[in-house]
Structure 1
Amino acid sequence: MPLKHLFKAILNWQTNTNSEKRYIKNHAISFEGKSDLQLSAAKAFKGDPSLHNPEDLLLSSLMSCHMMSYLYVCSLHQINVLAYTDSASGTLETDEKGSGRFVKVHLHPIVTIDNPEQIELANSLHQKANELCFIANSCNFKVLHTATCNIGKKLS
């Protein structure tokens, strides 16, 4: 039987318009026991460019989930990951009606491991991580990976 996990959030917004009679889209999302997220729409959609937006959060969720899934599969294969960075891009298409959707996200993880004999395996595990990633499994668009693996020394 599958395990179910419930996640909860509360969104708070108050009516506020600017001089152009447009709604200001700034709002907060709260999670119990955590600091609030201050959000807006993306700048392209008349939001506050200094705040995160839902598109930022989707991209960051995919990056974070992929990394955690990748670290998990590396631990199963005794790969010692020393560092992990990622630079991602997401393509959002909109139509003339104002609707839109992401059509792809491309992750570019750079992983540093300590064993040169494991580079090929380390690179191949990104596919398994993608298969395990909760967020990628919830998306209806392609999540691509172009990974790089480097060798480094463990700091003492």
Structure 2
Amino acid sequence: MAERQHHYQVNIMWTGNKGQGTESYKAYSRDYVISAGQKADISGSSDPAFLGDATRWNPEDLLVASASACHKLWYLHLCAEAGISVYSYLDRAEGTMTEGKKGCFTGIVLKPEITLRPGDDIQRAYALHHRAHELCYIANSLNFPVLCEPVITHSQA
């Protein structure tokens, strides 16, 4: 069976020309807009440490968010297949990037807080995180560790 391929196309439009272009390091804004088809635009910038706008998404935020979202989507899928009903899922994911001659991410830690239907198998729900990690396209594409530290409880209702 042939492997399926999926292709993604996004547009990044720099909106930070203040009239002088990139004449100097401080002469321009780092702002940009991400667009793709009919999807809502995402306002981006660089990290404030690099003269970016703290109210906009930066590439580092988006990388951590991508890893978190991919893991969550696999996890919800696996729970649905296993008959485990997830009532809520909130991930407080954190990523660490180190500057140097070659800046790079050194790790992401996913910290999902999950509430299950009363009586569902919590141990099985924990085990499904390991499987979700194995299947996560984003985590499989990264060259640094993505760890998962879930906290799972039952709903009180």
TM-score, structure 2 as length reference: 0.89
Is the Cα–Cα contact under 8 Å of residues 18 and 24 in structure 1 kept in the other structure?
A: no
Is the Cα–Cα contact under 8 Å of residues 84 and 120 in structure 2 kept in the other structure?
A: no
1:40-119 pair list within 5 angstroms: 40-95=45-100, 97=101, 99-116=102-119, 118-119=121-122
* Cα distance change on mapping 1:26 and 1:76 into 2, 3 Å: same
TM-fit CA distance, 1:114: 1.5
Consecutive unaligned residues of structure 2, counting only runs of 5 or more, are: none
- Residue 25 of structure 1 pairs with residue 30 of structure 2: yes
Moved more, 31-40 or 108-117: 108-117
Tell me, what secondary structure is at the counterpart of 1:116? coil
Question: Once superposed, which parts of structure 1, at least 4 consecutive aligned residues long, lie more than 3 Å away?
Answer: 14-21
* Cα distance change on mapping 1:117 and 1:28 into 2, 3 Å: closer
Give the whole-Å Cα distance in 2 for the aligned partners of 1:80 and 1:110. 14
Q: Which residue of 2 aligns with 1:12?
A: 13
TM-score, structure 1 as length reference: 0.89
Is the Cα–Cα contact under 8 Å of residues 97 and 105 in structure 2 kept in the other structure?
A: yes
Q: Which amino acid aligns with 2:4?
A: L
Q: Which amino acid aligns with 1:8?
A: Q
Q: Which residue of 2 aligns with 1:148?
A: 151
Q: Which amino acid aligns with 1:79?
A: I
Tell me, what secondary structure is at the counterpart of 2:107? strand
Tell me which of 10, 24, 37 is aligned to 2:42.
Answer: 37
Q: Which residue of 2 aligns with 1:136?
A: 139
Is the Cα–Cα contact under 8 Å of residues 120 and 154 in structure 2 kept in the other structure?
A: no
Is the Cα–Cα contact under 8 Å of residues 25 and 40 in structure 1 kept in the other structure?
A: yes
How many residue pairs match? The answer is: 152
Q: Which amino acid aligns with 1:26?
A: D
Consecutive unaligned residues of structure 1, counting only runs of 5 or more, are: none
Percent identity between the aligned chains? 35
* Cα distance change on mapping 1:128 and 1:135 into 2, 3 Å: same
Moved more, 136-145 or 113-122: 113-122
